Chains A and B, each alone.
Chain A
Amino acid sequence: MTTVNLNSPQVEIREHRLGSITGYAGSAAELAGCSRSGQLRERNRSFSQCLGCSTSNAACTVILIQDAAVISHGPVGCSGCLHEYAFTYRVNGVHRGLEHPTQRRIFSTNLEETDTVYGGERKLAQAIRAAHARTGAKAIFIITTCASGIIGDDVEGVADAAEAELGVPVVAIFCEGFRSRIWTSGFDAGYHGIARKLIHPATRRQTDLVNVINFWGSDIFSPLFARLGLRPNYITPYATVASLGESSEAVATVQICATLGSYLGAALEQVHGVPELKAPAPYGIKATDRWWRELGRLTGKEAEVETLLQEERAAHLPRIRELKALLAGKSAYVTAGAAHGHALIAVLAELGLKVRGAAVFHHDPVYDSGSAESDSLQAVVQDHGDIPRYNVCNKQEFELVNVLMRERPDLLLARHGGMTLWGAKLGIPSLLIGDEHFGMGYQGLVAYGERILEALENDEFVTNLARHAVNPYTDWWLKQDPYLFLEGAAGDPREPGAATASPSPKGALPS
C-alpha cells in the first residue's frame, strides 16, 4: 500500500506510516531481522531528555530555498533556532556556486495567549500578506507548531485563501512537535507540502537531469555527474521554486540519506513516474559500486559508470589500502540519524575500524518505497557484519554517556550537534563532519580516513578536557545498565518486581 497521498493536507507521521521506533537495545542484525516481520516493537523510556522536533526539520527543507519565505505559525520560541539555517545558507552558499546569498526571510506569527483563545488564523493571514509584501517570495511556506495544532487553526484554509488572493503558492506544512517523537517526520511534512504545491506535472523529460535530495553539503555531484553527461537537480537547499517545480521532469531521483528523502523520492516515483534509486547511499566501496551501477541502469549510462568506477578505484584505492593499514585495530562508536548512521558505519568498517556499537536516533523498518532494496541497515550488516551493541536512541545523552564510559572506543563519530561533547569529556577523540557528502564514494573514504587519523593523532585537547570536565551524572547511574529506563528493561520502575531501588541523590538537599 502506498504511503503517498498528495490529496491529504498532512502526511502521516513515521510511527504510523512506516512503523518507525525510537527505543531499541540489541544487535543490528536482530533489529534488521525484525523489519518487515511485524516483530518490531517500540520501547518507551520512563526518563528522557530534550528531543528535537518536527517543526525545525520541516523548516530545514524550506528555508534554504533561494526565493522562498517561511512563516512559523506559533509562539515566537517555535522559530528560535531557525536563524541557524540563515547562517548555514549564507556560509555554505559559496560551496554551491551562490556568491551572494540573500537574507533568509523568516517570520513568526508570534501567537500570544489571546490568540490561543480566539484563534490565530487572522494573524496568520496577516503574516502571509506581510511576508508577501516585504519579500516578494516566489513561494511562502507555513510551518505549524504544537500551539497552532492544539488550538485547531485551519491553516490549510488560510493558506489556500491567501494563495488565491496573492497568486503565489502558499504551502501549509503540518509539523506540530507533539505529533511525533521522530523529528524526521518534519522532513516528510516539508516534502509533502512541496510535492503538493510546487512540483508540477511533467510536460517533458529532461534525460540528463537527476534529482538529488540532500542537505547543504558541497557540490560533489556536478563534476561526478558531468562524467556521465548528467546534471544534479538539488532538492531543496539552494534550489529555486522553479527548479523544484521541474523535479518531475528528471530521469531519476537519488538521495544522500533515505531518512531524509524517503518520502519525496517515493512521491516523485509514484506521482510523477521519476524512478527512485533505491540502493542505499554510496558510502563504503560495496555500497558505492552498487549505487553508481544502479544510477547507470536508471539513466542508461552503464558503460560510463563502469569507466567512472574504474577511474575512481585507480585514483583512490592505493590510499584507501594505506589508510586501512594505519587504522587497523582501532575501535569506534557511532551516533547519528538512521540511514546516515548506517552510512557512517559502512565508512568506518570499510576503513578497517571495528564498530563496537551505535546509538542511532530512530529506526525505519521500511522506507516509503516499500522496497527491501532500500534497507540500509540490512545492507550494512550484510556488507560488513553485525554491530553487537546497536542502540536506537533519540539523542538521549544519559544513555550515550553511560555507554561511552563502558565501551571507551578509540573514536566517537557523531552526526548531530551536542553529541561529540561527551566523547571529548571522556577523553575520546570525537569527530562530527557536517558535510554529508564528505564520505561519499571512493574519494570519501580517503577523506574520512584522513580526518579520522588526524582526530586520533591530535588527542591532546580531549585528553586535557577529560581531566577538567564537569559531569552532572550520578555515580549510581553510570554503574547501571545503559538501557535501564527502556520499557521492559529489568530495572524499569514500571515493571513488576523491578529490583533497582531509587538511590538517595547526593547533594539533592541543601546542607
Chain B
Amino acid sequence: MTGIIEQERYTCAIGAMQTVTAIRRAVPILHSGPGCGTMVSGFFERAKGYAGGNTAPCTNCGENEVVFGGEARLRQVIEGSYRVLESELQVVLTGCTAGIVGDDVGQVVKEFQEAGKPIVHVDTTGFKSNNYVSHAHVVTAIIDQYVDRYADPAPVRSSGRTVNVFASLPYQDPFWKGNLSELKRVLEGIGLSVNLLFGPESGGVAEWRRIPQAFANILVSPWYGLEIVQHLEAKYGQPFYQFPHIPIGSNETSRFLRGVAAFAGLDPVPVEAFIQREEQAFYEEIDSLATFLLEFRYGLPGYVHVIHDASYVLGIAKFLLHEVGIVPREQFIVDNTPEAFQADIRAELASTSSKRTIPVTFDPDAGLAQAAIRGFAHPGRGLLIGSGWDKLLAQDLGLDFLSASAPSPYRLVLTTGYLGYRGGLRLIEDIYDRVLGTYK
C-alpha cells in the first residue's frame, strides 16, 4: 500500500489507454466517468496518437450508470465506435465507476467478439493499480483476446530469428519512440528480427498477430512488463531475456547486446563486429568531447540527482558516471516499484561503481524527493534530471536542469531517444545544451 503523493510522476491504471493509442489504427474505448480520458491527455500532453485524446470513445458514466449499471450504455458506445471510427483493434478500458459498480464488461465485449469484432477488454479501474502496472494488463489482454483469435496460422515459435521487444512504456517514457527505434536498430544490427509492437516503426496490429511466432522475448525493464514476458513464456513457451534497465551509452548497450546474443545463441563474430563499429563511432565523439569536458573553464556540472523511474535512474547513473564523468549523488525512484524488486534494483545500482555508494530512495511521493534535495549541500555545480515539476526546484537551488520524465510541459519531445549508443550521445547533447544555455 502506498501513501499520499505530491507531484505525481505517473497516473492511474486507465493511463494505459496510451498503450492502445501507441498501436497504429487501434482505438481505446473508455467505460469510465467523464474526464478520465482528458486527465490522461492532460498528464501526458501532445499524446493523441491515432484515436486517443478527444477522439477516444467514452461512455462518460453518470449518476444513471453508477446507480443502474452501465452495460447498456457501453454496448451503445461500442456500436457507435464501429460506425464512426476506422480501426483494426478496439480495446475497452474500464474506469473507477464501472469498477466499483461491477459492470460485467467482459460479457458485453464478448457479444462483439462473437460477432467477429477484433475487440478486447481490460480492467483498468483507476485505483487498482497505476499505468506502469496496467500497461502489462493491456498487453496481455490483447494477446489473450485478440492475438490468440487472429494469430497467423504459422506455428508458435516458428520464426527462429525474431524476438518480441517489451521496453519503454508508450508516453510514460517521453522518449519511447526514439528508444524503441534504437532498440530495433541495434537488435537488427546483431542479426535479429524485431516485433516492436508500438509506434511508427512497428508493423501495427498485423505485427501483434505474429507475436506467437517469435522464438523469444526481450524485456528491457527492472520490473514493469515482467508480467508480459512471464505470461508469454507460459503461454507460447517463449523464453525471455531481461536487461534490468534502459541501456544508455556504449558500455551498457554493448553489455545488453552481448547478453542478448549469448541468450539467443547468435554467432559472436558478426555480433562483435557490430558492437565494435558502434563503439568506435560512439567513442570518436567522446574522444573529441573530452577536451571540452575536462577544460571548459566556466563551470560544468560535476554531480547529478535523478528523479525518475527505476529504469532511467539506473541507466542514467551508470552512463553519466563512466562515460561522461558526472557523479551520481542521491537518486530518487518515483515509479512505485513493488517492494519485491527493490533489492535487485539497489544491487544493480551498487554495481555501478566499486568505489562509491549511490544512495537511492523508493517513493512515488516526489514532494519528499524535492524536500530532500533542498537539504543537500554538495560542493560544485549540480545537475537535476527530472520532470517539469522540478524546473522551479532546480532554479531555486541553482542546479542545471534537464526535463526527461513525465509530466514534461517545459519540453517538446518527438522522436528523440536516450537508449543505446546514439541515445547516449543525444543525452550528452541535451545536458550540455542546457548547461551552455545558461551562459548569456
Contact = CB atoms under 8 A, between A and B. Distances in A.
Contact of B393 (A49, A103, A130, A395): A103
B409 A84 contact: yes
B429 to A, nearest CB: 25
A250 interface: no
A82 B389 CA distance: 11
B38 A53 contact: yes
B88 A48 contact: no
Contacts of A474: 83-86
Interface in B1-59: 1-8, 10-15, 25, 27, 30, 33-43, 45, 48, 50-51, 53-59
A145 B96 CA distance: 10
Contacts of B85: 398, 472-474, 477, 505
Contact of B34 (A51, A398, A493): A51
Given A80-B43, A181-B60, A509-B116, A473 B127 contact: no
A47 B57 CA distance: 8
Interface residues of A, number: 80
Interface stretch (A70-78, A343-351, A456-464): A70-78
Contact of A473 (B15, B33, B84, B96): B84
B324 interface: no
A507 B25 contact: yes
A76 B11 contact: yes
Interface stretch (B61-69, B155-163, B181-189): B61-69
Contact of A83 (B34, B86, B127, B409): B409
A134 B367 contact: yes
A352 to B, nearest CB: 31
Contacts of B37: 49-51
State which size class the interface on B falls in: 35 or more
A110 interface: yes
Given A50-B34, A113-B127, A472-B51, A107 B4 contact: yes
A251 to B, nearest CB: 37
Interface stretch (B73-81, B259-267, B275-283): B73-81
B87 interface: yes
A510 B33 contact: no
B3 A110 contact: yes
Which of A90, A146, A183 has the most B CB atoms < 10 Å from its CB?
A: A146
B54 A418 contact: yes
A397 interface: yes
A86 interface: yes
Interface string A115-131: 11000000100110011
Contacts of A419: 54
A81 B7 contact: no
A473 B86 contact: yes
Nearest to B90: A508
Contact of A55 (B35, B58, B83): B35
B247 interface: no
A181 B62 contact: yes
Given A127-B4, A510-B205, A178 B83 contact: no
Given A76-B11, A130-B4, 18 more contacts: A46-B79, A49-B54, A50-B36, A74-B96, A74-B127, A77-B12, A79-B8, A80-B12, A80-B15, A86-B388, A106-B6, A106-B7, A150-B101, A177-B35, A493-B76, A505-B85, A508-B118, A509-B116
Nearest 6 interchain pairs by C-beta: A81-B42, A53-B35, A47-B80, A77-B12, A50-B37, A80-B43
